[in-house]
Amino acid sequence: MDIVSNSHPITSDDRTFNYGDGVFTTMCVSNGHVELLPYHLRRLTHDTNVLGIAIDIPSLSDAIDHAVAVEATSGANANRFVLKVHVSAGTGGRGYARDPHAKAIVRLTAHPYPASYETLWSSGITAMCAETRMAVQPLFAGVKHMNRLEQVFIKQEIARTPNAQDALVFDTEGNVVESSAGNVFFYQNDTWHTPVIDKAGVNGVVRQCLIEHMRASNTPVVEGNYSRNDIESAHAIAITNAVVGVMWVSNLIVPSNDASLATFSNGQHLCNTLRTVFKQYIDSGKQ
């Protein structure tokens, strides 16, 4: 495994450049600490194992610590920023087959924390139902790999839809999978539900954290297959990822002839349950 600087050029035979042969994770860094770091490292271990990419987690963890320390002293993003870890399967020839001697290439990049995220909780977000469907592929379900064309198309849909800030995404069998860049939870019949990630989608680190700690405290949470009707009849919808944490959906643009709007008037109160679980873990110092 080679850990390279962000200024290191991406060569034309890099396998992520050619085939999306790699994985990544996006971390939120607050006051010098990577939130959910054990979950990020665990997912990187899982995802690289699925793709057959050899990485050294202790060395990667040290590199993350170094990158955080450097960024924290630079002044630009001292208190809160985003750190992205890219893992490429390495370099190789023209064809799909990997060079068996190629080493993984790891690149870390720092980015400003989106300023708009700080104030979104007060209003919630408006989501739409994406027309783009995710392909069913159990082999890569849960993996945050570099092949993101579906998400690119979904983001284009959001940009074309007035007032939409995110989208709920369904697979080709009609099951809700996730949002454009996060996981989905919804509240119904006094229980939190979240789509099972066994055919498509990313097993997000906040999703893992919430399920683990909710079950530990005997808070009902169920993984299952859910349709658009299930989502539309929910009392609350939350979207989760490592950067935004937990965000509630205040309005859902429902596909119909008049593009009606479903409103979740109690959504913020209900989603605060998830937000509290997440914040308790972040504030516990177990990271």
Give the residue numbers annotated as catalytic, written as ranges: 26, 144, 178
CA distances 141 to 25, 234, 251, Å, are 15, 25, 28
The Cα 275–Cα 193 span in angstroms is 15
Spatial CB neighbours of 218, under 8 Å, sequence gap ≥ 6: none
The Cα 3–Cα 7 span in angstroms is 12
By residue count, the chain amounts to: 287
Question: Side-chain half-sphere of 66: how many Cα atoms within 13 Å?
Answer: 12
Q: Which two tokens stand for residue 241?
A: 């990822």
Q: Which two tokens stand for residue 249?
A: 């959906």
